[in-house]
Amino acid sequence: MTGKSNLVNLDAMIKRADFAFSEDEGLTFEQFNTIPARELISGGLTGSILRKPDFQRETNHWTPEQVESLLECYIHGDLIPSVILWRSPSFLFVIDGGHRLSVLKAWMEDDYGDGQISHKMFGHDISSEQKKAADKTRKLVRERVNTWAYYKSLQDNEEDITQEQRTRLLTLTSRGLPVQWVQGNADKAETSFFNINMKGTPLDELEELLLRNRKKPVPIAARAIIRSGRGHKYWSSFAPEIAEKIENEAKDLHRLLFSPEIKRPIKTLDLPLGGSKGVRTAIQVLIDFILFANRKQQASVPTVESFPDDLEGLDTVATMKKVTALASRITGNDKGSLGLHPAIYYYGPTGRHSTPMFLGASSLIAEKLANNDKHFFQKFTKVRADLEHVLIQHKDLIATILQKNISKYRVPRYHLFLDSIINALSNGESVDEQIIIKLSQLEGKIIAGDFVKNSTKLGDEQKSKLFINVALIHGIKCPICCGYIDTEKSVSYDHVVRVREGGIGSADNGQLTHPYCNQSIKQ
């Protein structure tokens, strides 16, 4: 199975547009049978009017090897399947073949997700994973196919080239990708898109969810946040002031959840709460987080489909504000922030981000917020030091417990598991391995001690584990609750002796605390 971090992001190569958008109803195009590669380069006639539907999935599903293979087929004259286009009054829309067209343009532009066009689209916010995939692709193409610039140089010196080079040049200048056309209106084109894309390389469940619900608040918000308000603006039809609010909220939420970018082996406790922003599954994490944030009092978590289409953007803004409220309770410097330390609450024993731990903890906090359960947060703070001791000391066991659960049950099970530990500690119980196994409801399936893994190799995972363990030993703790402080993201500066009691504003009379502890716990 292809690792999602090894996929090439070519999404910037072809712009998006709304099927229904029309600048000039009188504009028409002649249908053609092929698209030569040279027409796709910036300034090319066909490339300038080529668009992807605004609901099209991101063009980031091919590996470096697949990119190189298509280019090899192209320059050798091998068969390449037709691309399918639909002609609107304003643009030529790609119904099928977006990756093939994008690969050719990426080759000519030398932009495999890290070039000028990509930087312009992503606002210079390109992840290290995206850059790594681009570098690998560029190297592979240079070794096996060579660059577009190389073939251009041969064209300029055609009198001094080999027969093989001349043959390739002839292929490049004479062939194009074959084209088929969808006839009909925008509705017919959209129907064709879904029919085609559910065959061959089908849309996965997440992609289909995003596409079929693209006008609803949750997909709009998730796409805005994952790109920090940059990239294609799925909210561009909203009024400018609404679009600006969405982009500002997205930027702040992206920073809260996905900054800084993680590097391995881990050498800092300043870790992103939501994991890597460069992994495609991050969008699923965001969708779940958004749904948790928008649950109502004494109600179940809503579904994406349960939201109405957002025609003006107001629902999207309201949805994102609830997400900000949840994120601000978990991290950040707002007065109610718990400042949960990611190394303790969201990362597994080897320093890898755990989606079930992050979403399970977030789901628990969201539920208590929705139910206005102030008692829970007071109870949590009283046992926080003991809870964090349990989470640190028994990370391997907890990771094993999560693995023993079926994937779709891990988040709700961790939600209940975490709540159970907090309740047990609050009742004065001592939580050891046996109690953890009991609370996980996996008695008989896990035996205390059988989860320890031995290895002779000190790889990145073990190095990360070692760093986190040592760093936490020397970590700063809140003097009010004795829990760990995430000093990079969430810290409050407190007077030991209050000003009203004669305290002064000196470092000797100051202490670092969690914002929530400073506001709600200190008496």
Give the residue among 261, 205, 253 at the shortest CA–CA distance from 227. 253
Is the pLDDT at 28 greater than 60, yes or no? no
d(CA 11, CA 98): 9
Please report whether residue 494 resides in a domain: no
Q: 179 and 231, same structural domain?
A: no
Write down the pLDDT at residue 444.
67
- Decide which of 394 and 503 is more confident: 394
Q: 226 and 196, same structural domain?
A: no
Q: 35 and 66, same structural domain?
A: yes
d(CA 258, CA 358): 12
Q: 192 and 91, same structural domain?
A: yes
Start-to-end Cα distance in the chain: 55
How many domains does the chain fold into? 2
Q: What is the mean pLDDT of residues 509-521?
A: 88
Q: Is 469 exposed, middle or buried (0-12, 13-18, 19+ CB in 10 A)?
A: middle
Please report whether residue 335 resides in a domain: no
310, 220 Cβ separation under 8 angstroms:
yes
**Percent above pLDDT 70 for the chain:** 89
- Decide which of 183 and 50 is more confident: 50
Question: Where residue 24 falls among pLDDT bands split at 50, 70, 90?
Answer: very low
Question: Where residue 279 falls among pLDDT bands split at 50, 70, 90?
Answer: low
CA distances from 233 to 18, 226, 288 (A): 11, 12, 21
Q: 26 and 92, same structural domain?
A: yes
Q: 160 and 51, same structural domain?
A: yes
Write down the pLDDT at residue 56.
79
Question: Where residue 487 falls among pLDDT bands split at 50, 70, 90?
Answer: very high
Q: 246 and 156, same structural domain?
A: no
**Domain that residue 37 falls in:** 4-203
Question: Where residue 126 falls among pLDDT bands split at 50, 70, 90?
Answer: confident
Is the pLDDT at 447 greater than 80, yes or no? no
Please report whether residue 103 resides in a domain: yes
Pairing of strands 176-182, 34-36: antiparallel
Please report whether residue 230 resides in a domain: yes
Is the pLDDT at 139 greater than 60, yes or no? yes
Write down the pLDDT at residue 3.
54
Please report whether residue 159 resides in a domain: yes
193 CB-near residues (< 8 Å, 6+ apart): 53, 56, 95, 96
Q: 292 and 161, same structural domain?
A: no
Q: 165 and 18, same structural domain?
A: yes
Which of 330, 350, 374 terminates a domain? The answer is 330
Question: Where residue 510 falls among pLDDT bands split at 50, 70, 90?
Answer: confident
Which of 203, 230, 253 terminates a domain? The answer is 203
pLDDT in tens, 458-477: 788 889 989 999 999 999 99
- In the chain, DSSP finds a helix count (H) and a strand count (E) of 21, 8
Write down the pLDDT at residue 124.
78
Q: 310 and 190, same structural domain?
A: no
pLDDT in tens, 311-359: 999 999 999 999 999 999 999 999 899 999 999 999 999 999 999 999 9
Q: Which amino acid is at 26?
A: G
Q: 292 and 197, same structural domain?
A: no
Write down the pLDDT at residue 499.
58
Question: Where residue 505 falls among pLDDT bands split at 50, 70, 90?
Answer: low
Please report whether residue 396 resides in a domain: no
Angle value at C-alpha 494, between 490 and 496, nearest 5 degrees: 145
Please report whether residue 481 resides in a domain: no
Which of 170, 203, 236 terminates a domain? The answer is 203
Write down the pLDDT at residue 461.
86
Q: What is the mean pLDDT of residues 44-49?
A: 89
pLDDT in tens, 145-188: 999 999 888 887 777 788 888 888 888 888 889 999 988 888 88
Quote the mean pLDDT of the chain.
89
Q: 252 and 140, same structural domain?
A: no
Q: What is the mean pLDDT of residues 421-449?
A: 86
Please report whether residue 504 resides in a domain: no
Write down the pLDDT at residue 25.
47
Write down the pLDDT at residue 26.
43
